[in-house]
Amino acid sequence: MFRPFVLAITLLTIGHAKAFNEPSEITNEFVLSECFVENVRSKARCGKLNVPENRDLPLSQSNQISLNIVVLPKFKEESKALPLLFLAGGPGQAATELAGMLNGPLHDLRQEHDIVLIDQRGTGQSSPLKCDAEEIDSLTYDDKNLDLKQETLDCLSTFSDKHLPSYNTYNSIEDFEDVRKALGFEQVHIFGGSYGTRAGFAYLKLHPESIKTAILDSNAPMELVIGFFGKTSERAFELLVEDCKAHKKCNEAFPNLKQDFMSLMGRLQKSPVTQTAFHPATGEKVTMVLTQKKVAEALRSTLYDLSSRQMLPFIVNRAANEDYRALAAWIGRSVDSERAPGALYTGLTMNIICNEDIPRALPTDFKNDADNYFNGELGYSMFTEVCQYWPAWEAPNDFTTPVTADVPVLLFSGKYDPVTPPAYGEMAIEHLPKAKHIVIEHGSHVASLRHCVEPIKDFVKTASFENIDFSCATDSVPNMFFTDLNQLH
């Protein structure tokens, strides 16, 4: 279930520690055991910690979630440095599933610090809210035939035994606190990316005393309504158009890039494109269906990373000229039925956004976001169409209150980010007394782990911005563009 929707949006050695406030009827010993996790060669430590599903009630056999925990242990066993707790994005990513992707960028930090990964409630192996149905080929399905109401109801029926109001951001923070205590640490450093910054801001609000430093990349502060991706997508595409114009080979190849985009989307708005093609992943002859919604989201997804962004002018230009091979290759590049690392548990995605964000949007928010040429109302309708059928619950009264914690906070933004632009970092820093905002000039979404690991390491070590070199944010990175089938320029 929701496969079409997802395609449309795209250690310290511990013994045993008792969980806090556990009722007598349930035994809850916390043990970390040696284990191996996918794409990490060194041994990790894995364990489970039981916490109440409904935190208004005592922990019991009928009211519990078993949190899944992986710790990538520090290499220097003698180090007394505090651990780094990673807060995954989404909402809906499982942190432990990202271990292999994080291990490389965080290798230097692992010299002194344990890296703690906890599957947020509703993801991974922590009582997942998973809405996956049978595999649907992204290239051939027609999203106009999707019965979204029935799909949503089918999804909800798969976890009818869950107490959905308990799967929220604040409760996740209390889970993380329980794990911190069970690990025996007075404080942790936190790193959050994308929605992980929203979790980070919530942590800073609820338990600032537990956080030594916070690194938050691609920011979604508490006062921001998550779910409006029209104007931000348009902004990111405009920056691409500007970069292409300033690049000799790109401008020669695609002198009318914006017009090409408008021509393509105008054509799809009138009717979908249906053609016989060879599937890029299987080689089989199929009938591809290109709808406005599908193509707009596919093109938006390329803007998240510079390596895919550099292909976008070629894809747009060829499709505008009715050669859809490059576009089809991007949309249909995977037919793997296995969940990819970082894939969203869309039940949690919708449960949070439909209750913590969309309900507080004003009519003017919808009007303003729809006023863009890139994807119009599609910038938010991917959420609102589902939210009308999703069970409602109320977020806490203080949920949108800005964070004012007196904790050192390092904020990163990528200049080219299509979903959390630098303006959101400026929104967050306005209320933080000990914060610094770094804009990575040649970065997009969650770019710090690719560009600025060294200053992150220094900041974690010193809890200060003094004498830290942030030149990584302005390092020259050549703009490269795919201009023909043979090469990048």
Residue 61 inside a domain? The answer is yes
Identity of the residue numbered 143: D
Q: What pLDDT score does 28 carry?
A: 64
Residue 9 inside a domain? The answer is no
Residue 428 inside a domain? The answer is yes
Q: What pLDDT score does 19 carry?
A: 33
Radius of gyration for the chain, computed over Cα atoms and rounded to the nearest angstrom: 23
pTM confidence score:
0.92
What CATH code is carried by the domain that includes residue 73? 3.40.50.1820
Token digits for 197?
């910054």
Residue 2 inside a domain? The answer is no
pLDDT band (50, 70, 90) for residue 23: very low
pLDDT of 20 above 50: no
pLDDT of 176 above 90: yes
Residue 174 inside a domain? The answer is yes
Q: Hey, how many other C-beta atoms are within 10 angstroms of the C-beta on 111? A: 12
Mean pLDDT of the chain, nearest integer: 91
* Domain count across the chain: 1
Residue 256 inside a domain? The answer is no
pLDDT per position as a tens digit, 446-489: 999 999 999 999 999 999 999 999 999 999 888 889 998 777 55
Q: Which domain holds residue 423?
A: 14-135+159-226+399-474
pLDDT per position as a tens digit, 298-348: 999 999 999 999 999 999 999 999 999 999 999 988 665 556 778 899 999
Helix (H, G, I), strand (E, B) or coil at 210: helix
Q: Report the distance separating Cα 121 and Cα 257, nearest Å.
A: 43
Q: What pLDDT score does 337 carry?
A: 52
Helix (H, G, I), strand (E, B) or coil at 184: coil
Q: What pLDDT score does 61 carry?
A: 94
Q: Identify the weakest region by mean pLDDT among 25-29, 100-104, 285-289.
A: 25-29
pLDDT per position as a tens digit, 117-160: 999 999 999 999 988 765 678 899 888 888 899 999 999 999 99
- The mean per-residue pLDDT over the stretch 243-255 comes to 96
Token digits for 417?
């980010």
Residue 150 inside a domain? The answer is no
Nearest to 61 by CA among 22, 3, 119: 22
Is residue 297 within 8 A of residue 378, CB to CB? The reply is yes
Residue 166 inside a domain? The answer is yes
Token digits for 310?
């550099």
Is residue 8 within 8 A of residue 143, CB to CB? The reply is yes
pLDDT band (50, 70, 90) for residue 14: very low
Token digits for 196?
């992980």
Which residue shows structure tokens 């969203």? Answer: 344
Identity of the residue numbered 70: V
Residues near 35 by Cβ (< 8 Å), separated by ≥ 6? Answer: 43, 44, 45, 46, 70
pLDDT of 42 above 70: yes
Q: What pLDDT score does 479 carry?
A: 85
pLDDT per position as a tens digit, 388-416: 999 999 999 999 999 999 999 999 999 99
pLDDT of 12 above 70: no
pLDDT per position as a tens digit, 180-212: 999 999 999 999 999 999 999 999 999 999 999
pLDDT per position as a tens digit, 341-390: 788 999 999 999 999 999 999 999 999 999 999 999 999 998 999 999 99
**Residue 131 phi, psi dihedral angles, 5° rounding:** -115, 40
pLDDT band (50, 70, 90) for residue 17: very low
- The mean per-residue pLDDT over the stretch 211-226 comes to 98
pLDDT band (50, 70, 90) for residue 21: very low
